[in-house]
A and B are shown apart, each in its own frame.
Chain A
Amino acid sequence: MLEIVDLRARADQKEILKGVSLAVGKGEVHAIMGPNGSGKSTLARVLAGHPEYEVTGGEVLFNGKDLLEMDPEDRAREGVFMAFQYPVEIPGVNNAYFLKAAVNALRKHRGEPELDAIEFMQLVNERLQVLHIDQDLLKRPVNEGFSGGEKKRNEIFQMLVLQPSLAILDETDSGLDIDALKTVAEGVNAMRSPDRAIVVVTHYQRLLNYIVPDFVHVLSEGRIARSGGKELALELEEKGYGWIEEEQAAPAGRV
């Protein structure tokens, strides 16, 4: 589904991704871990098309199409969703109105009829219940005045409504208490299906107790330094990231 080959990207003249290669297949859940500054969030944002980053090399294919050539909205319409690490507050823009516009933009792209107000409300009400979110959220401006936890839950809510084929969660777990974390994980697990892939970007192993990954990758210094199964996350939790960085510094020890 997603093939990343030797991806390089920079922001403000500083190279952050220095050749990332990763393949994500249908039905798989991948976790991308790594120390702060390793490029985890940059990878997520580059995949979503954030204009702050300049891709300097490599390629990304999504279902065989060149993802990097697409505008952010076209990536979303093709089925890519990124849950933002820092969801943006948009004063004056009503959550329901925004989400309905998003749903219908995606439906239009797929050649499906737009949802009317009643159909839309049915769709969102079901999803709100999954995440134990009050209906009030729909009337509020997008993320404005939301607590950190509310913002993260709103991202997952949007994901459930938009039903992407590839979901990239950029540190969705940071700042969540354990109850909120479980709720968010339930939402993500509800999305798991043989047709869908999920990439979880996280600093800590904690979230992976609830969203169990098929593959774990460690990003360090802008490259994938190590890949493994879910047990790699536990190893990282125990030993920290130091040993990976040391290995990277001494190429002879690289696996």
Chain B
Amino acid sequence: MASVVEQRTGDVVGKGERYVREFESRAGRLPGPAWLRDLRVGAMARFAETGFPTTRDEEWRFTPITPLVNTAFVPSELLHVQPATLAPYMFTAETAAELVFVNGIFVPALSRVTNLPAGVDVGSLAALFAGDASKFDAVLTKIAAPDESAFTALNTALFTDGAYVHLERKAVVDAPIHVLHYSTVSGAPSLSHPRLVVVADELAQATIIETYAGPAGQTYWTNAVSEFAIGESAIVAHYRVQRESLAAYHIASMQLRTSRASVFTSHNLVLGGAIVRNDIGAVLAGEGGETTLNGLYVGAGDRLLDTHTTIDHATPHNISHEVYKGVLGGRARGVFNGKILVRIDAQKTDAKQTNKALLLSDAAQINTKPQLEIFADDVKCTHGATVGQLDADMLFYLRARGLGRDEARALLIRGFAGDIVDRVKFEPLRARLDEAVPQLLPREAA
């Protein structure tokens, strides 16, 4: 089974070899059904072939990941974490279920998955793999395919656990389902490959929150992949709250497939991480749906925050909205690439994309690129990108009413981010964002 990899090991491009070796030594023990074991081999072979991307790849042009490539990450292990450490990231009673993973491994003692409404099934993939996981066969690794990127290939080959959410037909959960991934290291920087798979059947309705966090100052790498299959007329709201250590690396792929008349809303909140890359892809596979991809990225220092989104209008009569906002101080760099593909049959598409960046310092940078590829002829597609600084007249106006310089600045930043923050319907999360955002933008960053 590992022969494919053995043949290719010699060809590993760059410094990915350690992960190929890790796979070779662990392949027999990785969980999952037979088809997944075979797929893992193929995924690892693909990674061995391509290695890590470089800035010579068009999709990574502005995103050098050298520090990540040069770090010798070891596989993450379960470490003991006090509930008090997790408290700032948990929503406890405000949620319908809360699944806690430490270093990628499910911790039942810290989690709560009881008293869910009928038709709602959530849990750990590792536990599911011990029994019958076949209900996810059509979705797991099918929506985020391993050949999508070197990182998805790596995750597919090496993931051992993650969360699953299955909402049966007409199942409705009012309070959010929260999946918290907490990473912490005891020695060498470690690497985890969290996986999330969400299946919402016809007319189901739920809110799902993913949180990624870790202790300040620690270096580790989270290589996450999430997959969503949204059924006909299902309504799913999704919040991705990334609050990793500012020294951590976070690479994530979130892939989505919609169905007829489904409504999916995503809020991608990028707060932590030293080098961050989010690939978000939505295939609008059924007519008459509405898909919203909103996001906010905030950073100072030397941080690098990259978001690539792709919305594939594969069927007619879909509405897509996308608003991304970035606030960058210090020497932080942001990248936003928003691709909208309207296929030849996707008539009556209504796609709107907005990307705005606020630069608080002269050294902060943003590379922003809308990318519209339209093959249908009866569509409405708009995009707009702006890059600006804090407005001097606004600052003076606020100060002339007695607000201090820092307070005025914070208020304007909050106002800028408000488009995104105010659309967060889960109030406890909104409150945390209001607290977290200013802390990420110390005054010296301006």
Which residues on the B side are within 8 Å of A93 (C-beta)? Answer: 411-412, 414-415, 418
- Binding site of B, secondary structure by majority: helix, strand, loop or mixed? helix
C-alpha gap A153/B399 in the complex (Å): 19
Q: Judging by beta carbons under 8 Å apart, are A72 and B416 in contact?
A: no
Determine the residue in chain B with the shortest Cβ distance to A86. B393
Asked whether B418 lies within 8 Å of A90 as measured between CB atoms, the reply is no
Known: A71-B405, A98-B411, A101-B411. A92 touches B400 (CB 8 A): no
**Interface pair A88/B403, CB less than 8 Å apart:** no
Cβ of B412 and Cβ of A73 under 8 Å apart?
Answer: no
Given A51-B392, A51-B396, A84-B397, A90 and B415 touching (CB < 8 A)? yes
Specify which chain B residues have a CB less than 8 angstroms from the CB of A88 in the assembled complex: 391, 393-394, 396-397
B397–A76 contact, CB under 8 A?
Answer: no
Tell me, yes or no, whether B69 is within 8 Å of chain A by CB.
no
A105 at the interface (CB under 8 A from B): yes
Residues in chain A near residue B404, CB distance under 8 A = 73, 105
Asked whether any CB of chain A lies closer than 8 Å to the CB of B407, the reply is: yes
A65 at the interface (CB under 8 A from B): no
Residues of A within 8 Å of B401, CB to CB, are: 76, 81, 98-99, 102, 105, 158, 162
Q: Which of A77, A92, A101, A105 contacts B415 (CB 8 A)?
A: A92
- Please indicate the chain B residues that have their CB under 8 angstroms from the CB of A48 in the complex: 400
Interface hits, A54-83 → B, CB 8 Å: 71-73, 75-77, 81-82
Choose one: B402, B414, B416; the contact of A102 (CB below 8 Å). Answer: B402
> Are A77's CB and B402's CB within 8 A?
yes
Q: Is A106 located at the chain interface by the 8 A CB criterion?
A: yes
Decide: B419 and A72 in contact? CB cutoff 8 A.
Answer: no
Q: Is the CB of A73 within 8 A of B402?
A: yes
CB proximity to B under 8 Å, residues A169-206 = none
B402 & A162 in contact (Cβ 8 Å cutoff): yes
Task: Please give, as numbers and ranges, the residues of chain A lying within 8 Å of B391 by CB-CB distance.
Answer: 88
A87 touches B415 (CB 8 A): no
A84 to B398 CA separation, bound complex (whole angstroms): 12
Cα(A102)–Cα(B396), bound, Å = 13
Assuming the A-B contacts A84-B397, A88-B397, A92-B419, are A101 and B403 also in contact, with contact meaning beta carbons closer than 8 angstroms in the complex? Answer: yes
Contacts of A162 in B (CB 8 A): 401-402
Query: How distant is the Cα of A106 from the Cα of B392 in the complex, in angstroms?
Result: 22
The distance in angstroms between the C-alpha atoms of A48 and B401, with both chains bound, is 10
Once the chains bind, are A101 and B414 in contact (CB under 8 Å)?
no
A92 to B434, CA, bound (A): 13
B394 x A71 contact (CB < 8 A): no
B398 A90 Cβ-Cβ under 8 A? yes
**Residues on the A chain within 8 Å of B393, using CB:** 88
Q: Residue A141 at the B interface, CB < 8 A? A: yes
A240 at the binding interface (Cβ < 8 Å): no
List the B side residues contacting A142 at CB < 8 Å: 397
Chain A, Cβ-Cβ closest to B404: A73
A81 to B417, CA, bound (A): 29
* Per-position binary interface string of chain A over residues 91-105, scored 1 when its CB falls under 8 Å from any chain B CB and 0 otherwise: 111000111011001
Contacts of B397 in A (CB 8 A): 84, 87-88, 90, 142
Let me know if A49 is at the binding interface, CB within 8 A. Answer: yes
Residues of B within 8 A of A254 (CB): none
B394: A residues at CB distance < 8 A:
88, 90
Chain B contributes a number of interface residues (CB within 8 A of A) equal to 24
Say whether B414 contacts A105, CB under 8 Å. Answer: no
Contact across chains for B402 and A106 when beta carbons are under 8 A apart: yes
Residue of A nearest to B411 (CB): A93
Q: Taking each of A51, A73, A75, A141, which has the highest tally of chain B beta carbons within 10 Å of its own beta carbon?
A: A73
B403 A49 Cβ-Cβ under 8 A = no
Complex Cα spacing A51 to B395, Å: 10
For chain B, residues 350 to 385, give those with C-beta under 8 angstroms from any C-beta of chain A. none
Contact A92 B402 (CB under 8 A): no
- Chain B residues positioned under 8 Å from A132 (CB to CB): none
Contact indicator A82/B400 (Cβ below 8 Å): yes
Give residues of chain A (143-176) contacting chain B, Cβ–Cβ below 8 Å. Answer: 158, 162
With A50-B396, A51-B392, A92-B416 as contacts: A76 and B411 at CB distance below 8 Å = no
- Complex alpha-carbon distance, A252 and B415, angstroms: 56
A51-B392, A73-B405, A101-B407 given as contacts; is B412 within 8 A of A90 (CB)? Answer: yes
The one of B399, B405, B418 in contact with A92, judged by C-beta atoms closer than 8 angstroms, is: B418
Interface string of B411-439 (1 = CB under 8 A from A): 11011111100000000000000000000
| Contacting residues, chain A, for B417 (C-beta < 8 A) | 92
CB distance from B415 to the nearest CB of A (A): 3
- Known: A92-B416, A93-B415. Is A76-B402 also a contact (CB below 8 A)? yes
Complex: A228 Cα to B394 Cα, angstroms:
36
User: Inside 8 A of A81's CB, which chain B residues have their CB?
Assistant: 401
Which residues does chain A contribute within 8 Å of B398, judged by CB atoms? 90, 98, 102
- B412 adjacent to A76 (CB under 8 Å): no
A73 touches B403 (CB 8 A): yes
Say yes or no: A91 contacts B415, CB within 8 Å. yes
Chain B residues 239-289 with CB under 8 Å of chain A are none
In the complex the two chains form, is A71's CB within 8 Å of B403's CB?
no
Determine how close the nearest CB of chain B comes to the CB of A109; give it in whole angstroms. 7
Known: A88-B394, A92-B419. A76 touches B400 (CB 8 A): yes
Contacts of A158 in B (CB 8 A): 401
For residue A124, give the distance in angstroms from its CB to the closest CB of chain B: 14
Q: How far is the CB of A79 from chain B (nearest CB, A)?
A: 10
Which single residue of chain A is at the shortest CB-CB distance from B421? A92
Q: Write the chain B residue with the least CB distance to A104.
A: B402
B102 to A: closest C-beta gap in Å: 37
- How far apart sit A105 and B414, CA to CA, in the bound complex (Å)? 18
Among residues of B, the one whose C-beta sits closest to the C-beta of A82 is B400
When chains A and B are docked, how far (Å) is the Cα of A84 from the Cα of B404? 18
- Which residues of chain B are within 8 angstroms of A99 by Cβ–Cβ distance? 401
Report the minimal beta-carbon distance from A63 to chain B, rounded to whole angstroms.
Answer: 16
- In the bound complex, residues from chain B placing their C-beta under 8 Å from that of A82 are 400
Given known A88-B394, A90-B394, contact A72–B415 (CB-CB < 8 A) = no
> Could you name 16 residue pairs across A and B whose Cβ atoms are closer than 8 Å?
A49-B396, A49-B400, A72-B400, A73-B403, A73-B405, A75-B400, A81-B401, A84-B397, A84-B400, A88-B393, A88-B397, A92-B417, A97-B411, A98-B403, A102-B401, A102-B402
Q: Please provide the 6 A-B residue pairs with the shortest distance between their CB atoms, ordered closest to farther.
A: A92-B415, A92-B418, A76-B402, A93-B415, A105-B402, A88-B397
Q: A73-B408, A75-B400, A92-B419 are in contact. List 11 more A-B contacts (CB 8 A).
A: A48-B400, A71-B399, A72-B399, A76-B400, A76-B401, A81-B401, A88-B394, A88-B396, A91-B415, A105-B403, A158-B401
